[in-house]
Structure 1
Amino acid sequence: MNVFYGTMTSKGQTTVPAEVRELLNLKSGDKLRYVVKNGTVILKAKNKKAADLAGVLFRSDIDPLAIEDIDDIVSDAVVNQSAERQ
């Protein structure tokens, strides 16, 4: 487990440490999801698209996605598609 520290400004803003940005492959404009459960916060990058799942079930050269990651990707795609229609 890696631990990284940041500081919150008076406006509630913080900088994501460079190491975390690299680990999550974050780029400017990427969305972040904060999942809070039992007092623990999990930061998830929302920089995957439903198209990223194409062929994932049939490829032996990559690790399969966890069901939670699949749920996140599908829900993000639904939200984005709904927003584009309005």
Structure 2
Amino acid sequence: MNTPQNNNPLHGIKLETMLLDLVDFFGWPELGRIINIRCFQDNPSIKSSLVFLRRTPWARQQVEDLYLECLRRYGKESR
């Protein structure tokens, strides 16, 4: 049974969309500075970052938190 996710602002937003928006907004160098993850700093790519983030809950949480902060602070629209 599906439960409504009215209180979840990330409901329906894919991790890939979040990452693409953050890279577009900050760029890889700044994103790697804000979130200290090697896949953002050393030869970054969307594909390798998604693999890492999907396997690493603490890193994914940092990306989600930054995305939410951008939504609150800058009113950034998702794709």
Considering fraction of residues, name the structure with more helix.
2
Q: Which has the larger radius of gyration?
A: 1
- Structure having the higher strand fraction is 1
With normalisation by structure 1, the TM-score equals: 0.28
